[in-house]
Each structure stands twice: as structure tokens, then as C-alpha cells.
Amino acid sequence: MNGHRERKPEKDIHRYNRMCDVAMATNVVLLTIDSLRADHAADSELMPTLNEYAGTGVRFTDAHANGYSTPVSFPTILTGTYASHYGGDGFMTDERPFLARVFDRAGYDTAGFHTNPHLRAEKNYNVGFDSYNDFEDEAGELSRLRYLITQNLDSDSKLYKLLKRIYHLFRTSSGSRDYTPAPALNQRALTWLDSRRNEKTPFFLWTHYMDVHYPFYPPDQFLNKDISQSRAVSINGRMHEDDAKLTDDEIADLRALYRGEVRYMDHHLGELVEEVRDRRLDEDTVFVVTSDHGELFGEHGLFGHPPAGYDENFHVPLVVFEAGATEGVKISETVSLVDLPPTLADLAGMDIETAWEGLSLGPAVRSEGIESRDLFLGDKDVLAYQSEGWRLVWWRTQDHPRDPDREWELLRVDEPESVPLADHQSRVSEYRSRMEAFLDRAEADNYLEEPEVDESTEERLEALGYK
């Protein structure tokens, strides 16, 4: 689904009335990168461009996504509300305070570019965007072939695994992907910017990249070790289908492939920012770079981004630079992405919606200081509450990966192993009460089921590792 949404007459009237106010307003560019871990983003060898930008702005070193996966995380990023509330994350109800709608009503031009099937317009993520470029089926007949394999063969059969390997080999050798790659996504965003060159109004631009997401097939020039195409296909397939049997060497190669994707993404992130600068927009534009969740590579016995309560899933980069940002500042206070909508509104000089759950990070960007925030992480399946460096995880509907009988787990955020609950009964009791109140709010709403998807969307979700 592509195209420009027709502008409503009342918006034109509102735009005219607001013209004097917004003529000198700050443009906002929000760049989100799927599956990017904070420790990899902070690695200057992997992301030299992002680290250069962070040196000219503000880096939040203890930022957390509120979800362990895209559908759990993005409601906080684009609506400032938690996935479990407002009926759940199956559909973004109109009652949510959409960030794009706030910019739209303030007279901004708004555009969103993404290629993730979870963020499609059918789930209402397009609310507030003048132009919303939804994902396309990049795979065509080859993707449909994979879908037929997955739907009609036993996943444990040798024929299934052989055909899946053949499918992945053809996909990688042909250069096709189940998402729009960064260069093409950048071009679409820049084409939109160029289409409004004579506009006097400010803009809000959001672009979401899938290049770091599974499966990992970076171009050879971004790899720092020799991994054959057939081996890349094999270990990507094993990660998706049978990760328990991955060897240490295979896990090391998976990490190398992932790191190659991170380098590739850094390169094209820089291309977009420099193109915006070439258009002389940077003096009036604030850039924000973050991720919707991290990725596990065997930590805690897990791979990918399954329902889990660990920091490898939640700890993400958050960098703010250009207009209004203090240069070269690192903020160590704990924050989360539910703070993002009020922050962007604040940096643009707009009022903050009272329905947003987070608090603006604007004071930190302006070197005025902030305090660490308590965090709600996850959803109705696996929920965590974090405060003062402690995190209590409630495995509500998922077996614990190491102990199926354990429903609760208490963690020191900076330590890998859990802490005995009996040693911290007062803290556990307090955290449990707050989590129960959080869920009471969610259960007060009628939970909405995931909307039905067409065959093409289901194909692409499966290809991206969503079983």
C-alpha cells in the first residue's frame, strides 16, 4: 500500500491558522532500526557514522525498548502508550494518542516509510501520516513457494529442511529480500522530501529499517570474516528452525553476519542524514536514532527476540543530534522509548499530550538533567518491572527457558544470573503490586485480536522469522 493520503479540508484551515507559529518550527526525523542491540550500536568499529553523530549530540546509554519484539514495542514509539493497553497490540485503536496525529494537527507535513508487516496500515499505524508507505511484497513467486513449503510439509521432515535451504540459497543468490532494503527506503524518503521543497511548513519524517533483522545476509564488503553463502544460508535456517543444535562456531558466524548487517545499516544511515544535510535542512532539523528491540544469540539459551525479560532484548541505542541538541553528552539515567513521543513533541516546541505515558527527555537533550525512570517492559505474556537497577520478570504464559516451574525471576540488570526471590521479599512484593496494577488497566479494556492477514503478509512474516 503506497501513496499520498488526501489532505482533509479542516487540516488546510488549521494549517493556515498555524502558519505563523510553525514557520520557524523544528523538523523532526525519527530513524528506527529493527533488532539493533545497544552494545553493537555503541561499537565505533561497527557503527562509526552513528558514533560520529552521537559525538555531536546526545547519547542515552541506558535506554530501553518497552517491548521484546516489534508489535510489543512500536505502540510506545508511535503512540506513547503500552502495547497491552487500549485493547492490546492486535490493532491500534483510534483512541491512542498517535504521535503523527499530534504533528499533523500542529500543521506539520508527516510521512512514514517502513517495510515491516507488523506495522501495516490495516493495524492503524498510518494514523496521522499524510503519506504512509506501507510494505510491499518484494519476494513475489519465490516467497509464495516458501509459503507452500511451510504450510504443506512437516517442519521436522528432511524434505522440508532441504527445500527451505534451497529456497534461502536462491533468495540470497538472486539478491531478493522479504523487505525493502535501506538504499531503496532512503530514496523513497528523499523523494518525499524533494516533493515538498517549496513548502514553508515543517515536517515529521519516520523511517524504519529492517536490514539488521533476521535473516542475516550482509554484502561481503561489510563482513570481517569469510563466510560462504551456503554456510550463511545453513546457519540462518538453523537459528530459525532448530537453534538448540547450533554449535559454538555456528553461533560465532551468526554473530559475524549480524555485525555485518549492522555495518551495512550504519553506512546507509549516514547516507540519509548527509542527503538531508545537502538539502540544507539540518540546521532546523533534529534527528533521533533508536531501535524497537535487540537480539539474542544464545544468551540465556535463547535466539532472536522471543517473549523474554532479558536486557539483550530491551537495551537499545538512543541518539539525538542536530538542532537544539547539546554536543557530545552521554546520559546514563535509565529511560525507555515510551518517553519518545513527549520528547519529540518537546523538541519541536509543541505541547505534550496528557495521554502519553512517558516523560520528555528534552531537558536532558538541553543539558538540564533528568532522573532515572521506572520501566514497564513486555506485555501480557512476559511482563517486567524495573526500578533502581532491579528487574522483576513475570513469565505469565511462557515456560521459563531454564526452569519451567519458575513463574517469577528477579534480576540485577547488570548481572547475568537471577537472584533468589526469598532474599528480596519486600522488593518483590512491591514490584508485583505495580505489575498487577499495570495489567488491571489492560484487562479493563476489551482485548482486540490480531487482525487477519492476507497470504502475502503471512508469507513475509514467516520469512522474517515470525513462526
pLDDT tens column, 117-150: 889 998 999 999 999 987 664 444 555 555 555 5
CA–CA dist 437, 446 (Å, integer): 16
Task: Give the DSSP letter string of 41-68.
Answer: HT-TTT-HHHHHHHHTSEEETTEE-S-S
Question: Residue ranges of the domains in the chain?
Answer: 9-138+177-227+246-373, 381-446
Confidence of residue 48 (pLDDT cuts 50, 70, 90): very high
Closest C-alpha among 457, 455, 458, 439 to residue 447: 439
| Mean pLDDT, residues 371-391 | 96
Q: Which pLDDT does position 410 carry in this prediction?
A: 97
Closest C-alpha among 31, 68, 47 to residue 381: 68
| pLDDT at 456 exceeding the cut of 70 | no
CB atoms within 10 A of CB 291: 28
Q: Which pLDDT does position 14 carry in this prediction?
A: 46
Q: Which pLDDT does position 77 carry in this prediction?
A: 98
Sequence-ordered strand ranges (E) for 173-295: 203-209, 285-290
Sequence-ordered strand ranges (E) for 194-284: 203-209
| pLDDT at 228 exceeding the cut of 60 | yes
Q: Which pLDDT does position 172 carry in this prediction?
A: 53
pLDDT tens column, 334-372: 999 999 999 999 999 999 999 999 999 999 999 998 999
| Mean pLDDT, residues 80-106 | 92
| Mean pLDDT, residues 238-245 | 86
Closest C-alpha among 61, 65, 38 to residue 331: 61
Name the phi and psi angles at 192, rounded to 5: -65, -45
Most confident of 80-94, 140-154, 180-194, 238-252: 180-194
Q: Which pLDDT does position 5 carry in this prediction?
A: 44
Q: Which pLDDT does position 18 carry in this prediction?
A: 43
Give burial (CB, 10 Å; 0-12/13-18/19+) of 194.
exposed
Q: Is the peptide bond before 215 cis (omega within 30 degrees of 0)?
A: yes
Residues contacting residue 418 through CB under 8 Å, at least 6 positions apart: 409, 410, 411
Lowest mean pLDDT of 232-236, 291-295, 311-315, name the range.
Answer: 232-236
Rg (CA), the chain: 22
Superfamily of structural domain 9-138+177-227+246-373: Alkaline Phosphatase, subunit A (3.40.720.10)
Q: Name the DSSP class of 378.
A: E
* Pairwise pLDDT comparison (357 vs 242), residue with the higher score: 357
Percent of the chain with pLDDT over 70: 80
Strand order in the sheet with 285-290: 131-133, 109-113, 203-209, 27-33, 285-290, 318-322, 58-60, 329-331
Q: Which pLDDT does position 160 carry in this prediction?
A: 58
Closest C-alpha among 84, 93, 83 to residue 125: 93
CB atoms within 10 A of CB 416: 11
pTM: 0.86
For 88, the grid coordinates are 492490546
Q: Which pLDDT does position 88 carry in this prediction?
A: 80
Coil, strand, or helix at residue 93?
A: coil
Q: Which pLDDT does position 134 carry in this prediction?
A: 78
| pLDDT at 162 exceeding the cut of 70 | no
| pLDDT at 19 exceeding the cut of 60 | no
Lowest mean pLDDT of 123-137, 171-185, 305-319, name the range.
Answer: 171-185
Please give the mean pLDDT across all residues of the chain: 86
